[in-house]
Structure 1
Amino acid sequence: MQMTGRTWHIGIFGTFDVENYGDLLFPILAEAELTKRLGSVQLHRFSYNAKDQAEWPYAVTSVADLPELAEQLDGVLIGGGFIIRFDKVVAHGYFPPSPDIHHPTGYWLSPALIAQQHGIPVVWNAPGMHCNDIPEWSTPLLKLALEHSQCVRVRDEPTRESLGALSPNTDIQVLPDTAFNLPNLIDELHPSAAFAELRQTFGLDAPYIVIQSIHVVEPFLQLFEQHPEALAGYRLLVMPIGPVLGDHPMVVTARIPDAITLPFWPEPLLLAEILCHAQAIIGHSYHLSISALVFGVPVFSTADLSTGKYTALAEMGQMHALPPAEELTVHWFTSRLGKTRPSASLSAAKVALAAYWDRVAKIIAQGKTSTRSALNRFWQNLPTLLEHGDNQPSAPTAIAAPTLDFLNIELNARQRQIFLLTEQLALSEAKVTRLQASNSFRVTAPLRSLRRGFRKLRER
């Protein structure tokens, strides 16, 4: 039921300023659900870097402006996505706009504390930490933020266990990722005009398979090269899901030249609609998988479904983990192709999400909280905490081994740089070839010969 009569100003915090499909979805989903319940909602999307709606799917405000804007907010959502983290490699070259903003807590932890200082209700919008470690210096701040939030929901059990150990008295529950509500935003039976045009222009009126343009799909590329019959009757659409993480079409098109690519990166809901009408999805992305599963599209995933965030998808019938090399056969692949009814477990996810958004709307409608005094007491105690920390003997800090996510991000970024340099080199060679074939180049050939002769005489 809508609450009318005013406009609600709600802040949502995350990495909405990068080309990564899943991150761009969260504000769209939140705005739709809160508008349905609260009426007029103005969603303020906060990330490191400001974005203009003329060049981006929506306007984004820099977190550098939050101290001046916080007072006008009626509620704050933290996440979702993989944002409860302390490692420095969020994406290649991704850093805060000012050295005064801590990286990477500046777009999730600091905003929660600032909101609580202003008595603004804080909701953790099913973010995850994917087995990320919590450093000792951050524990008082994170514990404070959790204990004074009005609703803490995370997207997987490993995240709940880690945060629950830090703050045992906080009610922390696992909530399905908010992207499971995508069918509320896409009419599967009535395609949008943008998708209808795209389908006609790029030959997607025939059955097609989407493959994420990322290096870990290599086993499937080998299968298609050695057994092209595996794709008989299907078009192959190569789609970057996270360009900021290094996705690049040439990962696939260099091996399968007949694959379709698009000359632009689709906006989030159009990309979701492309996935909705596919006959299969191949890739690694978490939100690529969810976007397919909610529409009954089978997913061939290169992720480890037994750890972290992927555990939430492991039991869904259309989710197929990459098998050992000897088991990845044409029959194994083709026998699992084709869109079907979505998994029955999705119904429970939708019920849980509906109850969650009802609660979030109610929390925001109740207005300001009494968290200011708790924050004031913490700031009063902060010098003691800092002094106590300074007097403790510090153990040598071990250098953490690079995580698989870190290595994948770095590898993808390097591959993308290679592909871009290759494209630039090809353009340069084409320019040189055109120049050498031009009339002016031939007419001036004697002059260049004379110049070389004079240079040699001068050197002698």
Structure 2
Amino acid sequence: MKIGLIGTYDVENFGDCAFPSMYQFLLHKYWPDAQITLYSPTTKVADILEFEQLKELPGSDVAGSFVEDALVLTGGETISYGHSAGTYIYPVASYSAFLRLWLGPLLAAARGETRFIAHAVGGKLGDETPYKVIGRLLRSADLVTFRDQVSSDRMSTPDWRFPLATDPMFAIRNLASKPEFANRVSRLLSAENIAGGYIACQVSLPYVKGKLETWAVSVSEIAISLKLHVALVPICHFLNDAEVLESVRVQIANLLSPYELCVEIVPERVKIRDTIALIGCSSGFIGTSLHGAVTAVSFGKPLAVLSSSLNGKHEQTLRSVGVNGAVTDNIGGLRACFERTSSSDMGELADNAASLAERDFIQVVERLKASRQPRPEIDKNDVVKIVNFDKATVASFKHQLNRNFLLMLRRIPGLYEGYRSLRARLAG
């Protein structure tokens, strides 16, 4: 069987790049000889990805674009619409990165060229009307499941409800053996920190709202209370995690030093299984990364997650597997979150989460094995509507000016990266 996995595997972000490794592992349990192809908006392979090649998703509906028996859209907030002035900048006349991820594959499946499944995906916040249009279109897919109730509600109508499925990354502990994970950590951290135990810590600037130093103090206080070292682990590389963590490393070191505790930062952009190992072999996780948190749960580790909302993607995803009290929207709540999860039976929660992830993946397997069932026809008017919504997001002069400015920066090597770094620091 030929299976195409679809996602933003061209973005330097742990969660995005871990999905294909997880799906390949799960698919090969049922089809050991399955040929796996990866599709992304661009062909630029992320440094941390464990695959060597990406195929580019088409920017319009082109017959014969896919040769696979089935296409599976993987997680993250991959069901949405709207052109960007950031990671992806495409001509407004073509599909945005979002429509490339799902609309093109959906239309190919509607013509009978392949199958299209969206599994445990999420949707970004936005106006209700476009999402109801998306929901009507997605009825024609072979299978669509959402990872959280908020995303499902956004696309559903009273007469058509999209089911939920557990994020498969909750089974991420199965990607390697404990000795292999431990060996990876031994190459990245000092023996002293490993032997003494450490907390894996990560933060992205947009979440701290200008209080990065306060975050560093909170992390240090938690580590001191537990007599644990600190390992700073960059996860969201496209948000400059490594630079952010390096900026507080000395501060944390000074706070830990009187207690004979150490802090070290992991080399930037290690491979996916290295990041999994660093969290899985830790004594706990403090961070803002959703899939950093999911990985911690998979290994049964206590955690504290700083989110921008108490009912956003972090809380919704963790709650789906019974993990409560791990998320806060203020830095001062991190310690209480870590203490609450430390007192929970995280081992039992980890086993339950992994079991749910594998159980819900069976939906994908069964749909791929079964004969293809008739699906509702796509309303061409809905296609026109969502394409127009897609274009309207950058219709203003302000948006056009911003896009042109960023396109100019990208033509000069290093300038765009420097601009993003400065912008991230100012946002923090």
Using structure 1 for the length normalisation, give the TM-score: 0.70
1:272 alignment partner, one of 268, 273, 276: 276
Q: Deviation of residue 348 (structure 1)? A: 4.4
Q: 1:370 to 1:24 in 2, by over 3 A?
A: same
- The letter for the 1-side match of 2:184 is A
Would you say 1:149 and 2:141 are equivalent positions? yes
Q: Deviation of residue 109 (structure 1)? A: 2.5
**Which residue in 2 is equivalent to 1:188?**
178
The question of whether the paired residues in 2 share the 8 Å contact of 1:34 and 1:357 is answered with no
1:128 alignment partner, one of 103, 115, 122: 122
**Which residue in 2 is equivalent to 1:111?**
105
Structure having the higher Rg: 1
Would you say 1:76 and 2:66 are equivalent positions? no
The question of whether the paired residues in 1 share the 8 Å contact of 2:9 and 2:49 is answered with no
**Which residue in 2 is equivalent to 1:374?**
377
- The letter for the 1-side match of 2:310 is L
Q: Deviation of residue 101 (structure 1)? A: 2.9
Q: Deviation of residue 281 (structure 1)? A: 1.1
Q: Which structure 2 residues correspond to residues 52-91 of structure 1 after superposition, within 5 A?
A: 56-58=49-51, 59-64=53-58, 67=62, 70-89=65-84
Unpaired segments of 5 or more residues in structure 1? 1-7, 390-395, 401-411, 421-460
Q: Deviations over 1:131-156 (max 9, x none)?
A: 433454x754x245321122221000
The question of whether the paired residues in 2 share the 8 Å contact of 1:23 and 1:81 is answered with yes
Q: 1:366 to 1:284 in 2, by over 3 A?
A: same
Q: Deviations over 1:340-369 (max 9, x none)?
A: 853534444444433333332232233556
- The letter for the 2-side match of 1:278 is S
In 2, the alpha carbon distance for the partners of 1:255 and 1:161 equals 44
Q: Deviation of residue 122 (structure 1)? A: 1.8
- The letter for the 2-side match of 1:374 is E
- The letter for the 1-side match of 2:265 is T
In 1, the alpha carbon distance for the partners of 2:419 and 2:87 equals 12
Q: Deviations over 1:193-229 (max 9, x none)?
A: 433333457843431111113234533313357x597
- The letter for the 2-side match of 1:123 is I
Matched residue SS, 1:149: coil
Q: 1:45 to 1:324 in 2, by over 3 A?
A: closer
* Bigger shift: residues 350-359 or 272-281: 350-359
**Which residue in 2 is equivalent to 1:283?**
287
Q: Which structure 2 residues correspond to residues 45-444 of structure 1 after superposition, within 5 A?
A: 45-51=38-44, 56-58=49-51, 59-64=53-58, 67=62, 70-89=65-84, 92-96=86-90, 100-136=94-130, 139-140=132-133, 142-165=134-157, 168-188=158-178, 191=181, 193-200=183-190, 203-215=193-205, 216=207, 218=212, 219-223=214-218, 230=224, 233-247=227-241, 248=243, 249-253=245-249, 255-257=251-253, 259-303=263-307, 304-314=309-319, 316=322, 319-322=325-328, 341-342=345-346, 344-366=348-370, 370=374, 374-375=377-378, 378-379=379-380, 416-417=421-422
The question of whether the paired residues in 1 share the 8 Å contact of 2:11 and 2:46 is answered with no
Q: Deviations over 1:297-317 (max 9, x none)?
A: 111111133334522324845
Q: 1:76 to 1:278 in 2, by over 3 A?
A: same
Q: 1:296 to 1:122 in 2, by over 3 A?
A: same
The question of whether the paired residues in 2 share the 8 Å contact of 1:120 and 1:369 is answered with no
- The letter for the 2-side match of 1:93 is T
In 1, the alpha carbon distance for the partners of 2:263 and 2:198 equals 10
Would you say 1:13 and 2:6 are equivalent positions? yes
The question of whether the paired residues in 1 share the 8 Å contact of 2:285 and 2:302 is answered with yes
Q: Deviations over 1:262-305 (max 9, x none)?
A: 23312112211110011121111111111001211111111133
In 2, the alpha carbon distance for the partners of 1:288 and 1:170 equals 33
The question of whether the paired residues in 1 share the 8 Å contact of 2:117 and 2:364 is answered with yes
In 2, the alpha carbon distance for the partners of 1:53 and 1:21 equals 10
The question of whether the paired residues in 1 share the 8 Å contact of 2:189 and 2:264 is answered with no
Q: Deviations over 1:141-199 (max 9, x none)?
A: x245321122221000111111112xx44451111111111122132355354333334
> Relative contact order (C-alpha < 8 Å, sep 6+): which is higher?
2
In 2, the alpha carbon distance for the partners of 1:144 and 1:325 equals 40
**Which residue in 1 is equivalent to 2:23?**
30
The question of whether the paired residues in 2 share the 8 Å contact of 1:280 and 1:337 is answered with no
- The letter for the 2-side match of 1:212 is Q
The question of whether the paired residues in 2 share the 8 Å contact of 1:208 and 1:278 is answered with yes
In 2, the alpha carbon distance for the partners of 1:310 and 1:179 equals 15
Q: Deviations over 1:369-397 (max 9, x none)?
A: 656x935xx45x689x77xx9xxxxxx99
In 2, the alpha carbon distance for the partners of 1:337 and 1:347 equals 15
Q: Deviation of residue 16 (structure 1)? A: 0.8
CA RMSD of aligned residues (A): 4.0
- The letter for the 1-side match of 2:176 is I
In 2, the alpha carbon distance for the partners of 1:333 and 1:54 equals 32
In 1, the alpha carbon distance for the partners of 2:292 and 2:361 equals 23
In 2, the alpha carbon distance for the partners of 1:229 and 1:268 equals 25
Q: Deviations over 1:13-34 (max 9, x none)?
A: 1211111111111111111111
Q: How many residues align?
A: 381
In 2, the alpha carbon distance for the partners of 1:94 and 1:149 equals 25
Q: 1:69 to 1:33 in 2, by over 3 A?
A: farther
- The letter for the 2-side match of 1:178 is P
